[in-house]
Structure 1
């Protein structure tokens, strides 16, 4: 029996050769709509918008050149924006297939936005990649990962429009929490597809069983990360390091926390100079984690982050 990291070559393209337009077109033809951004994101957002919030349409994704549709992009902002208050940025759905990143953001807007708006300016982008949400996909229709494209001149419209929205609406950001998931399909589909697209080799790592955080190597803020882990472990279990002391090949800095060079990688968490920044990673494929529990973990992380900022603001 093959070892768990032995995978056949991805069945699009030639191993060792990066994809061209033909391979990308074949990949796109395979993608199917599996749920509705309008029904599952926009409609609930409109139905549950608290009076302390205003809804902004910050752009539109136009994929008609690929035979696809147009997707409106929405953000939620504090209605009473006050100069001098710290600003909190919450982003979700950078990877559309990571469901609790979107649904957790919507739940937080519904249940907790009003309370947080009493102390902070708030900006929430709950679903940055709506086509990815509908097709349960990591990439956009151009086979680009938006969470590697948060950089000047970004070729991914999802990333470029999100950065423009934040720059226009938020100014200086004190806290940025980006809501994500790590799923089993990262090994079964998206990792092999990326290797094939880039003409590289897929490096298998075990998917961590549980919640973890990804901090920034330039702004690690270990006490901040620890506070979030302590809050989330009341909701769901925290991922343990593997035998090498790693999660997905990265050295664990403390229980449930690894760091990435966010700016170098073009990650969403790099788009501001926030003092406190983190990426949540929920594990929805755990046999002990329900969708409601995954959403609750995201909400707990956001609330813990805001609570930490509250105390940090008083001390500074």
Structure 2
């Protein structure tokens, strides 16, 4: 299915004027400072809250934060949780915060915990997949990244050389088909295929290190909170063949995905579906928390 987009000429990649036209149409719809930053700073009583970077977009300035468990030790593996790489994916941001707030203390004896709750605050405020330069941060985790969001997150995470696990929290939404995929097709001057949106939670593993049992453990934990997306009639999710129930694989490194930015042995990207009639905001947040809990419980079980 080909979907027209109101910016640019069909079949022609966007020029700078097109990108400026797109940016001019974006508006602030919610507050990063009020909804996210205040919650992160409130964690400072029990965790180390570090500012690892800053974004300056016109009149808008955003501080970028990491939250760390305090009892860091070389004798413990380090666990990374990231949210808000795509700022519009709300439960990824609030799920990351809720995990460290409600569950972090249960795991800090076994793990060093690092959480980057909102990598793309401008995207959070404007409910966008891209940054103001019409760049997708979750295709930009590579050397000399053109996305400031990705570049600063990578620079911070690079100082942790003992990462064992990375859980990257995302959503798949109906606006992926109604807005973001048509915009992507228009920007790149290509046709747009309208994929089926899976009704339910699923995971994206890494083709280079799929860790089948690890992904299974996360699915089983999330099932306690929300339903898992069934494959379509072709045995696929978002056009990709399933690896197992609720799991597909991407080459996260080749594609420049956030989950591919480290050498962690256990990695996954979550995909919650907030537009499901069977879900709500709280279910989505708790589904994200369950994803991290399932991941850490699996790793703990490996040492038992």
Match of 2:52 in 1: 58
Match of 1:97 in 2: 88
The question of whether the paired residues in 2 share the 8 Å contact of 1:228 and 1:305 is answered with yes
CA deviations on 1:251-289 (whole Å, 9 max, x unpaired) are 001000000011110000011111100000000000110
The question of whether the paired residues in 1 share the 8 Å contact of 2:98 and 2:285 is answered with yes
Match of 1:41 in 2: 36
Residues paired across the two proteins, number: 304
CA deviations on 1:206-239 (whole Å, 9 max, x unpaired) are 0000000000000000000000001101111100
Q: CA deviation at 1:6?
A: 4.9
Q: CA deviation at 1:49?
A: 4.0
Match of 2:261 in 1: 271
Q: CA deviation at 1:48?
A: 3.6
Which of 271, 274, 292 in structure 1 is aligned with 2:282? 292
Which of 82, 102, 116 in structure 1 is aligned with 2:73? 82
Counterpart of 1:163 in 2: which secondary structure?
helix
Q: CA deviation at 1:204?
A: 1.3
Which of 291, 301, 304 in structure 2 is aligned with 1:311? 301
The question of whether the paired residues in 1 share the 8 Å contact of 2:40 and 2:67 is answered with no
Match of 1:167 in 2: 158
Match of 1:211 in 2: 201
Counterpart of 1:91 in 2: which secondary structure?
strand
Structure 2 gap segments, 5+ residues each: none
Match of 2:25 in 1: 30
Which of 215, 231, 237 in structure 2 is aligned with 1:225? 215
Inter-partner Cα distance in structure 2 for 1:239 and 1:309: 24
Inter-partner Cα distance in structure 1 for 2:43 and 2:158: 26
Aligned-residue Cα RMSD (Å) equals 1.0
CA deviations on 1:78-101 (whole Å, 9 max, x unpaired) are 212101211100000000000000
Inter-partner Cα distance in structure 2 for 1:283 and 1:294: 7
Inter-partner Cα distance in structure 2 for 1:49 and 1:213: 31
Inter-partner Cα distance in structure 2 for 1:195 and 1:28: 16
Match of 2:139 in 1: 148
Inter-partner Cα distance in structure 2 for 1:63 and 1:244: 43
Inter-partner Cα distance in structure 1 for 2:6 and 2:146: 26
Kindly indicate whether residue 109 of structure 2 is the aligned counterpart of residue 118 of structure 1: yes
Inter-partner Cα distance in structure 2 for 1:251 and 1:90: 26
Inter-partner Cα distance in structure 2 for 1:240 and 1:61: 39
The question of whether the paired residues in 1 share the 8 Å contact of 2:2 and 2:191 is answered with no
Q: CA deviation at 1:307?
A: 0.6
Inter-partner Cα distance in structure 2 for 1:244 and 1:115: 41
Kindly indicate whether residue 128 of structure 2 is the aligned counterpart of residue 133 of structure 1: no
Which of 229, 243, 252 in structure 1 is aligned with 2:233? 243
Counterpart of 1:265 in 2: which secondary structure?
coil
Match of 1:16 in 2: 11
